[in-house]
């Protein structure tokens, strides 16, 4: 079995997301880029219809950039959403891992086809002045992959209409951390809207936030919002 450590990391990420309430049952899926120089290169994916509690390293699917795949455990096949995992990783070389969840508040907003605007400065963690909601397409289709890529342009996270959310990171830990932040923001925005439309930060105010966040991950990161978790 190739890449046992990366396979276990993928299993751990899926279980952690489940424990955090970002997914339930068999919803959601995860991927991680194979290391440069690996024979064939490509990505590892969680399989279709296997809940995290039953997931093991042997269940993880290896896929190449052309969509060809190999299973170790009999009967396992890639998540139905393999196209957007493959396409995002192929288009975004800085991304090392992708988390897709059906987190409740992200899902609720996505069903109204609205994104998360700059109601709170932590929206900047996703890389822009808002977290977009991508257009709707049937799960597992190329159309959904195309919609996801468009919504993620210049961003590290997005919602998917009537579906859920995507969070990207240089590794699985940071992708899961960003997914947690995005769900927290979705909940905050949903709650703020109960009192009416919240006041949004201006582009200049968000630009200041982005400038401040350039220190995340440095020694100054310890003083960053939320202790610097999930920032970069």
pLDDT of residue 40: 66
Task: List CB contacts of 26: < 8 A, sequence separation 6 or more.
Answer: 48, 49, 50, 51
Closest Cα partner for 155 from 128, 175, 179?
Answer: 128
pTM of the model as a whole: 0.91
Query: What is the structure's pLDDT at 216?
Result: 60
From the list 81, 153, 187, 205, the catalytic residue is 81
Query: Does 81 qualify as catalytic in the annotation?
Result: yes
Sign of the dihedral through C-alpha 59, 102, 83, 179: negative
The CA-based angle 30-31-35, given to 5 degrees, is 155
- Report pLDDT for 38: 66
Backbone angles phi, psi at 128, to 5 degrees: -155, -165
pLDDT for the residue 150: 98
Which residues of the chain are modeled with pLDDT < 50?
A: 218-232
- Which domains are present in the chain? 4-228 (3.40.225.10)
- Residue keyed to tokens 């509690």: 53
Task: Please compute, for residue 228, the number of CA atoms within 13 A of its CA located in the half-sphere on the CB side.
Answer: 14
Give the DSSP letter string of 27-39. Answer: --EEEEEPPTT-T
pLDDT given for residue 222 in this prediction: 37
DSSP 148-203: HHHHTTT-SEEEETTTEEEEEESSHHHHHHHHHHHHHHHHHHHHHGGGSSPPPPPH
Radius of gyration of the chain (CA): 17
Long-range contacts, 222-228 (Cβ 8 Å, 24+):
225/121, 225/122, 226/122, 226/181
Integer Cα distance of 48 and 21 in angstroms: 19
Question: In this predicted structure, what is the pLDDT of residue 223?
Answer: 36
Q: How many CA atoms lie within 13 A of 51 on its CB side?
A: 7
Could you tell me if 29 and 81 are in contact, meaning their C-beta atoms sit under 8 angstroms apart? yes
């Amino acid at each position: 079995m190739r890449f046992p450590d990366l396979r276990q990391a993928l299993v751990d990420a899926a279980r952690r997301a489940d424990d955090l309430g970002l997914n339930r049952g068999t919803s959601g899926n995860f991927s991680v880029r194979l290391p440069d120089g690996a024979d064939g290169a490509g990505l590892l994916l969680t399989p279709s219809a296997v809940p995290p509690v039953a997931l093991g390293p042997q269940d993880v699917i290896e896929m190449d950039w052309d969509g060809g795949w190999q299973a170790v455990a009999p009967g396992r096949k890639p998540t139905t959403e393999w196209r957007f995992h493959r396409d995002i990783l192929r288009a975004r070389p800085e991304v090392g891992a992708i988390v897709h969840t059906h987190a409740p508040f992200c899902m609720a907003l996505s069903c109204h086809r609205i994104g998360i605007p700059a109601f709170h400065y932590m929206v900047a963690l996703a890389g822009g002045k808002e977290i977009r909601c991508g257009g709707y397409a049937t799960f597992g289709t190329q159309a959904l992959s195309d919609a996801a890529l468009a919504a993620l342009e210049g961003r590290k996270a997005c919602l998917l209409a009537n579906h859920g959310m995507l969070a990207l990171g240089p590794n699985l830990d940071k992708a899961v951390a960003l997914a947690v932040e995005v769900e927290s923001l979705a909940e905050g925005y949903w709650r703020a809207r109960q009192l009416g439309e919240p006041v949004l930060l201006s582009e200049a105010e968000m630009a200041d936030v982005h400038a401040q966040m350039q220190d995340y991950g440095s020694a100054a990161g310890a003083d960053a919002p939320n202790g610097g978790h999930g920032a970069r």
